[in-house]
Structure 1
Amino acid sequence: MKTTAFLFVFLLGLSFAQGFDFFYFVLQWPGSYCDSQHSCCYPLSGKPASDFGIHGLWPNNNDGSFPSNCDPNSPFDSSQISDLTNSLNANWPSLSCPSSNSESFWTHEWQKHGTCAESVFDEHGYFSAALDLKAKADVLQMLSSSGIEPNNNSYDLRSIKGAIQAGIGHEPGIECNKDRSGNSQLYQVYLCVDSSGSSFVSCPVLPSVSCSSQVVLPSF
């Protein structure tokens, strides 16, 4: 009986130990989140800086598939990242409505994506790794160095990709959404990271998203 119980627990653990090949590190432009049909709400910590914010660090596979919600027995625990809260508020704010302290956003990201990387990170390590990657990837400065500014003007999509590739060393994925006038605008940037969650790499597969050839970068 004890052997059967042990085997059940062992196999249950294996079911949560999802493998993956690399991470998408996804950065979001707040101006494009807010300038859409859905609008936005600033977090309780105040209006975020005019900079790309973290959306998530997502385990992915080379064939384009991805694991999700891997371990229901590992719930988000805010006490585990209390020393990171100020940095998370600054770099990983929630813009969804109603206004919140962003913990629901972090909870979602940990439960859906972070629990699938527990072979690499515990909860603190997961959020700390994302903050470290954000510090390495100053996408706004990369764009600015190529004359691409958040000023509501349109820019060539190839120029946007080229500016980020020059800064990171690898081709990014670019996701657009529509502003209230129906224009294509720069919404999210996908950067690929090795399976240790520490170094940017060439993307084995880029996300299947679409943008127009001319893309607006709205102010925020």
Structure 2
Amino acid sequence: MVKWVSSILLKLSLMLSLALVALANSGDFHLFYFVQQWLGSYCDQHAEKCCYPPSGKPPADFSIEGLWPYFNDGSFPYNCGGGNFNEALLKPMQDSLRREWPSFTCPQIGRKFWVHEWNKHGTCSKTVLGEVAYFQAALNLKNKVRLLQALGNAGIRPNNQLYSLKAVKEAIARGTGFHPWVVCNKNSQGISQIWQVAMCVDRTGTRLINCPFVPKGQGDCKSQIKFPAFY
């Protein structure tokens, strides 16, 4: 009896796993999160793994972290497969990707970062955006969502000072017209600092929208957060 029940449970678990995989591959996601990150905070957290791209230290700005599809319950699909990465297709936008979507890991992984993002996230939106459209959408959004400018207009600058989380969110909302989701990490002294900023985007990857939910598994910020200098 115990073996029979265990067998049934195993089959049900397998069926559920297959159903979830099918859902992830269906492209039936609700929206995108367009995520940018701040190099100063990344390097504070990963000092031994922080390297500049081959082109050298980039200008002070937020850079693209990813364009991630989400379901309407706050969970997200990943590694949906069926979308082989073709680097040749991205050649016309390669300079823009190197500038706006660089990798800061050591050793430098360069294009592998784009491959990773496409395989993990892009393949789950391929029914809406093909490879070229996916990366172009992220670049277009970067030009639209100017975080450093929005923060600077409110007197919030990367000067190692503490700012209220509320003020940071309000500044970005004023500058973009939409409320952000701010993710923090901690530096070596345990101080909460601005790391990633996510904006919600519709399924076409072109239009900013108000976020209907908080993404699962994201880090919390303290009421006062540091804006570290750009390394």
- Of 205, 208, 211, 1:200 maps to 208
TM-score normalized by the length of structure 1: 0.90
User: Which of these residues, 105, 114, 119, is aligned with residue 127 of structure 2?
Assistant: 119
1:133 to 134, 138, 141: 141
TM-aligned CA distance change 1:15 to 1:140, over 3 Å: closer
Decide whether aligned partners of structure 1 residues 14 and 191 sit closer, same or farther in structure 2, where only a CA change above 3 A counts: closer
Render the CA deviation track for 1:176-208: whole Å, top value 9, x for unaligned. Answer: 011121111100001000011101000011234
Shift of residue 61, structure 1, vs aligned partner: 1.2
Task: Give the TM-score normalised by structure 2.
Answer: 0.86
Structure with the greater alpha carbon radius of gyration: 2
Task: Say if 1:74 and 1:111, in contact at 8 Å, map to a contact too.
Answer: yes
**1:45-87 C-alpha deviation (Å, 9 max, x unpaired):** 221221000000000011011111112x322211010011100
**Which secondary structure does the structure 1 equivalent of 2:45 belong to?**
coil
In 1: Cα distance, 2:184 partner to 2:171 partner: 17
Partner of 1:181: 189
Match of 2:90 among 76, 81, 85: 81
Distance 1:160 1:134 in 2: 18
What does residue range 94-113 of structure 1 map to in structure 2 within 5 Å?
94-100=103-109, 102-113=110-121
Runs of 4+ in 1 over 3 A off after TM superposition: 12-15
* Counterpart position of 1:27: 36
Shift of 1:126: 0.4
Q: How many residues align?
A: 207
Task: Please give the secondary structure, in 2, of the residue aligned with 1:159.
Answer: helix
Deviates more, 1:165-174 or 1:84-93: 165-174
Decide which of 96, 99, 118 is 1:90's aligned counterpart: 99
2:80 corresponds to 1:70: yes
Match for 2:27 among 18, 22, 26?
18
Q: Encode CA deviations 1:125-147: one digit per residue, 9 max, x unaligned.
A: 10000000000010000000000
Q: CA deviation at 1:210?
A: 0.5
Query: 1:159/1:109 Cα in 2 relative to 1: closer, same or farther (>3 Å)?
Result: same
Deviation at 1:13, TM superposition (A): 8.8
What corresponds to 1:42 in structure 2?
A: 52
Q: Check the 8 A contact 1:37/1:179 in 2, yes or no.
A: no
Alignment-derived partner of residue 226 in structure 2:
216
Matched residue of 1:196: which SS?
coil
Choose from 56, 59, 64 the match for 2:66: 56
1:120 Cα offset (Å): 1.3
Q: Which amino acid aligns with 1:20?
A: F
Match of 1:8 in 2: none
Conservation of the 8 A alpha-carbon contact between 1:17 and 1:118: no
**Other structure's SS at 1:144 match:** helix
Q: Flag structure 1 segments of 5+ consecutive residues without an equivalent.
A: 1-11
- Relative to its length, the structure with more helix (as a share) is 2
